[in-house]
Chains A and B, each alone.
Chain A
Amino acid sequence: MSDFAQTLITAIAIGSLYALIALGYTMVYGILKFINFAHSDIVVLGAWSSYSLAVKLMPALGYSLDAVPPIWVSVVILIAAMVFCGAIGFSIERLAYRPLRRAPRLNVLITAIGVSLLLQNVGQLSFVFGASPQDMPPLLSDRTLTTITFGEGESVHQLVIGLVDVVIFATATSLMLIMQYLVFHTKLGVAMRAVSFNTETAALMGIHVDRVVSFTFVLGSTLAAAAGFLIVMKYPSISQPAHTIWVLLGLKAFVAAVIGGIGNVRGAVLGGFVIAFVEQFGAFYISSSYRDVYVFALLILILLVKPSGLLGSPLREKV
Chain B
Amino acid sequence: MTCTVFRIIRRQTFLLPCLLLVLMANGCQPSASSSNEILIGHYASMTGSEATFGISTDNGIKMAVEELNAAGGIRGRKVKLITYDDKGDAREAGTAVTRLVTKDGVVAVIGEVASGLSLAAAPICQEASIPMISPSSTNPKVTRIGDMIFRVCFIDPFQAHVCAKFAREHEGLKATKAAILTDQASPYSVGLQDEFEKSFGAMGGTVVSKQTYQAGDQDFSAQLTSIRAAEPDVIFIPGYYTHVASIILQARKLGITQTFLGADGWDSAKLGEIAGEAINGCFYSNHFSHEDQSPKVQEFIRKYTAKHQQTPDALAALGHDSAMILFEAMKKIDSLDGVALAAELAKTKDFDGVTGKISIDADRNAVKPAFILEMQNGKPKYVTTMKPGE
Contacts and interface: CB of A to CB of B under 8 A. Distances in A.
Contacts of A7: 221-222, 225
Interface string A234-245: 111101100111
Nearest to A138: B276
B359 interface: no
Nearest to B250: A235
A135 B211 contact: no
A240 B219 contact: no
A14 B217 CA distance: 13
Contact of A10 (B216, B221, B229, B249): B221
Q: By CB atoms of chain A within 10 A, which of B48, B217, B221 has the most?
A: B221
A280 B253 contact: no
Contacts of A280: 221-222
A289 B226 CA distance: 13
Interface in B241-288: 242, 245-246, 249, 253-255, 273-274
A288 B242 contact: no
B230 to A, nearest CB: 10
Contacts of B253: 142, 144, 160, 162
A68 to B, nearest CB: 13
A100 B228 CA distance: 53
A283 to B, nearest CB: 4
A190 B199 CA distance: 67
Contacts of B249: 236
Contacts of A284: 222, 225-226
Interface residues of B, number: 30
Contacts of B144: none
Nearest to A279: B222
A173 interface: no
Interface in A83-105: none
A240 B254 CA distance: 26
B83 to A, nearest CB: 15
A132 interface: yes
Given A14-B219, A131-B87, A288-B211, A239 B225 contact: no
In order of increasing CB-CB distance, the 8 nearest A-B pairs are: A283-B222, A245-B216, A131-B47, A10-B221, A235-B218, A284-B222, A289-B212, A288-B223
Given A279-B222, A289-B184, A291-B222, 17 more contacts: A3-B229, A7-B221, A10-B219, A14-B219, A131-B47, A132-B49, A133-B242, A162-B253, A231-B218, A234-B219, A237-B246, A239-B216, A243-B48, A244-B216, A280-B222, A284-B222, A288-B222
Interface of A: 3, 6-7, 10, 14, 130-133, 135, 142, 144, 147, 157-158, 160, 162, 231, 234-237, 239-240, 243-245, 248, 279-280, 283-284, 287-289, 291
